[in-house]
């Protein structure tokens, strides 16, 4: 029948009721039907701070270790681009590291100083702090390592509570436990509440995978697991006994529901790009806001390919962030935050 029609009219017309291309005809039409809108306001900017001058990070081209002054200026620059939240990571001098990571809750340490400064200069910017022991651990682990090389769960949680409380006292709006110890969200919630910090939120790294994509970050902070400790102490060379197996998806649901029940205000999936299925599955099981972390390895794969001229950096960054949002992330932690905000404003 179609062939006869073609023959008779000498033209090709499929007579389709639905032609999806009608909705892609013009920029205005595409804007109208767009399902995911990326905004600067949903981006969270991870920043590195140290006790020293501003310096580029070799392991993460395009990122810097900031002095307290440099950090504040960078927060101001990001805020002017519409970014409303930053997350802070400290690069700690070896002399402050120990196997018990006591520096993690030093009230006059680097992080409380940074939080106080930012909240003073930019009170409207949300300051998120990382709750985990690795930057302060001479063993390079998120928890305390015993003499047999075990990562001690409950002992670690006790230290994390002190750390989170100290962050709240310094003025943090949100504390973000990234350590993956069991029960830490409940313990931190109780500690904050018992000390009058009911209004400080918890963003929990709920489904955090043991990922090779964190490699550059550990270089930036000098926080990778150490190969051998003092006195021949056994130290696990990986984080597989606390971070999740990349092969598991249902376990991400278990972790997320536990954190929700324990009092998390926001849950997180990390890494983001290679774990879009996990983000999508989490949207089906929780009504909490979902964050996703485009981690250092994801950042650097884009950066390296862009600098080689192999891909268009701007387009690929916007596409990768849009895909993470499309999968179901309400907010995205990304080292590209200010650049992406700038690009979104130009568009």
Residue 9: exposure state from Cβ atoms within 10 A (0-12, 13-18, ≥19):
exposed
Question: Which residue in the list 91, 97, 208, 239 is annotated as catalytic?
Answer: 208
CB of 23 to ligand PBG, least distance (A): 37
Query: How many residues lie near ligand PBG (CB under 6 A)?
Result: 12
Residues numbered 256 to 295 that lie near ligand PBG (CB under 6 A) are 295
Of 218 and 285, which CB lies nearer to ligand PBG in the complex structure? Answer: 218
Q: Find the binder of ligand PBG among 138, 296, 320, 334 (CB under 6 A).
A: 296
Residue 155: exposure state from Cβ atoms within 10 A (0-12, 13-18, ≥19):
middle
Structure tokens at 340: 């992406």
CB of 25 to ligand PBG, least distance (A): 40
Judged by CB under 6 A, does residue 130 bind ligand PBG?
Answer: yes
Judged by CB under 6 A, does residue 139 bind ligand PBG?
Answer: no
Residues numbered 149 to 208 that lie near ligand PBG (CB under 6 A) are 178-179
Asked if 144 contacts 99 with a C-beta cutoff of 8 angstroms, the reply is yes
Q: Find the binder of ligand PBG among 132, 151, 269, 278 (CB under 6 A).
A: 132
Structure tokens at 244: 């999740």
Which residues are paired to 154 by β-bridges? none
Question: Which residue in the list 91, 226, 239, 270 is annotated as catalytic?
Answer: 270
CA distance 112 to 171: 8
Asked if 29 contacts 23 with a C-beta cutoff of 8 angstroms, the reply is yes
Of 136 and 343, which CB lies nearer to ligand PBG in the complex structure? Answer: 136
CA distance 206 to 327: 17
CA distance 134 to 26: 50
Matching residue, tokens 């909490």: 288
CA distance 187 to 38: 34
| Catalytic residue status for 162 | no
Fill in the per-residue mask, 199 to 238: x = in contact with ligand PBG (CB under 6 A), - = not in contact.
---------------x--xx--------------------
Buried b (16+ CB within 10 A) or exposed e, 205-226: bbbbbebebbebbbebbbbbbb
Residues numbered 46 to 105 that lie near ligand PBG (CB under 6 A) are none
Judged by CB under 6 A, does residue 134 bind ligand PBG?
Answer: yes
Of 217 and 343, which CB lies nearer to ligand PBG in the complex structure? Answer: 217
Of the candidate spans 69-77, 128-136, 324-332, 336-344, the one that interacts with ligand PBG by CB under 6 A turns out to be: 128-136
| Catalytic residue status for 270 | yes
CB of 256 to ligand PBG, least distance (A): 18
Which residues are paired to 111 by β-bridges? none
Which helix (H) or strand (E) is 203 found in, with range? strand 201-208
Binding site for ligand PBG (CB under 6 A): 130, 132, 134, 142, 178-179, 214, 217-218, 239, 295-296
Residues annotated as catalytic (active site), given as ranges: 208, 270
């Amino acid at each position: 029948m179609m062939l006869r029609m073609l023959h008779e009219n000498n033209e090709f017309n499929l007579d389709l009721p639905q032609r999806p291309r009608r909705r892609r005809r013009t920029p205005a039409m595409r804007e109208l039907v767009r399902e995911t809108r990326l905004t600067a306001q949903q981006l969270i900017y991870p920043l590195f701070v140290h006790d020293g001058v501003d310096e580029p990070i070799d392991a993460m081209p395009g990122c810097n270790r900031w002095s307290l002054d440099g950090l504040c200026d960078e927060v101001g620059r990001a805020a002017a681009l519409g970014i409303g939240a930053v997350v802070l990571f400290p690069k700690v001098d070896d002399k402050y590291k120990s196997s018990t990571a006591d520096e993690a809750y030093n009230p006059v340490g680097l992080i409380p100083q940074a939080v106080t400064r930012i909240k003073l200069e930019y009170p409207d910017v949300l300051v998120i702090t990382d709750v985990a022991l690795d930057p302060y651990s001479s063993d390079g682990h998120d928890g305390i390592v015993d003499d047999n090389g075990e990562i001690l769960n409950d002992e670690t949680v006790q230290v994390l509570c002190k750390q989170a409380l100290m962050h709240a006292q310094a003025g943090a709006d949100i504390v973000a436990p990234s350590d993956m110890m069991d029960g830490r969200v409940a313990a931190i919630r109780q500690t904050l509440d018992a000390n009058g910090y009911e209004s400080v939120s918890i963003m929990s790294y709920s489904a955090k995978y043991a990922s090779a994509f964190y490699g550059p970050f550990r270089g930036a902070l000098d926080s990778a697991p150490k190969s051998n400790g003092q006195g021949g102490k056994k130290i696990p060379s990986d984080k597989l006994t606390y971070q999740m197996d990349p092969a598991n998806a249902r376990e991400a649901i278990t972790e997320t529901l536990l954190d929700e029940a324990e009092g998390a205000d926001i849950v997180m999936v990390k890494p983001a790009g290679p774990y879009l299925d996990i983000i999508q599955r989490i949207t089906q099981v929780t009504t909490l806001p979902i964050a996703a972390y485009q981690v250092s390895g994801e950042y650097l794969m884009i950066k390296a390919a862009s600098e080689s001229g192999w891909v268009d950096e701007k387009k690929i960054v916007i596409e990768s962030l849009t895909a993470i949002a499309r999968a179901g992330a309400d907010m995205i932690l990304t080292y590209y935050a200010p650049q992406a905000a700038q690009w979104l404003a130009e568009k």
